[in-house]
């Protein structure tokens, strides 16, 4: 009986080296003369529209850029040993389902890296679909930017203060987002919102 390839979701907060992990996995496959396909959402243009780049400076060109309505062509995965997806939280549920199907029909493992929740602690569409459909959900851990506890949330700052304003998809890097534990996430919001905090149901 043939073993079915798996769909993986490896999630972490901002600054948890998710993309560095992805690039290391890609390097290991290629060192073994195996083909990998790198996928990223087209909307992520922070480090160039067609490159996957870690904050440590390592980068590789993406093989496929996807939009929410992209239909993946199975012919592009001929002889591929693994599919790696960066910023998977920005993928549509339709794309996650296609990746799920690829593990079944083509028997290719798919490893997705991304955030679990936005700065308001709400699941991204792609992350929610992966939480539902992935065979394995694995956390990539890092510490809180304000203490030494494990970070679980992504805190957004604007003009030096924490904020819950703005769209869920709001691209930025270290100057805008911070990994935080629950306690520091709440304290930062307390500083910004003071007596209005009790009206914010997510915290």
Residues 169 and 77 in one domain: no
**Residue 173 lies in domain:** 153-199
Residue 54 binned pLDDT confidence (cut-offs 50, 70, 90): confident
Into how many domains does the chain fold? 2
Instruction: Please tell me whether residues 48 and 104 are part of one structural domain.
Output: yes
Positive or negative, the CA dihedral 4, 2, 24, 85 is negative
What are the distances in angstroms from CA 3 to CA 32, 100, 108, 184?
21, 15, 11, 44
Do 175 and 118 have their domain in common? no
Q: How confident is the model at residue 59 (pLDDT cuts 50, 70, 90)?
A: confident
Is the pLDDT at 196 greater than 70? The verdict is: no
Q: Is 66 within 8 Å of 95 (Cβ atoms)?
A: yes
Tokens, residue 143: 């510490």
**pLDDT tens-digit readout, 17-33:** 999 999 999 999 999 99
Segment 123-174, tens digit of pLDDT: 999 999 999 999 999 999 999 999 999 999 999 998 888 998 888 877 654 4
Residue that is last in its domain, among 139, 161, 176:
139
Is the residue at 147 inside a domain? no
Residues labelled as active-site residues: 87
- The residue out of 93, 117, 139 marking a domain boundary is 139
What pLDDT sits at residue 89? Answer: 97
- What is the percent of the chain where pLDDT is above 90? 71
How does the average pLDDT of the chain come out, rounded? 90
């Amino acid at each position: 009986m043939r073993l079915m390839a798996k769909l993986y979701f490896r999630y972490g907060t901002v600054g948890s080296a998710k993309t560095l992990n992805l690039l290391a996995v890609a390097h290991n496959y290629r060192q073994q003369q195996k083909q990998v396909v790198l996928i990223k959402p087209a909307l992520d243009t922070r480090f160039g529209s067609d490159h996957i780049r870690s904050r440590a400076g390592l980068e590789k060109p993406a093989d496929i850029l996807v939009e929410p309505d992209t239909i993946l062509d199975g012919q592009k995965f001929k002889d591929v040993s693994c599919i790696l997806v960066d910023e998977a939280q920005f993928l549509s549920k339709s794309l996650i389902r296609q990746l799920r199907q690829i593990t079944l029909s083509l028997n290719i493992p798919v490893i997705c890296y991304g955030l679990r929740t936005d700065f308001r602690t709400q699941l991204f569409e792609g992350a929610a679909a992966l939480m539902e459909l992935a065979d394995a959900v694995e956390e990539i851990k890092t510490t809180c930017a304000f203490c030494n506890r494990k970070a679980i949330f992504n805190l957004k700052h604007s003009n030096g203060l924490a904020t819950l304003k703005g769209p869920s998809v709001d691209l930025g890097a270290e100057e805008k987002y911070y990994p935080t534990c629950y306690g520091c996430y709440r304290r930062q919001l307390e500083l910004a919102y003071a007596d209005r905090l009790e009206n914010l149901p997510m915290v």
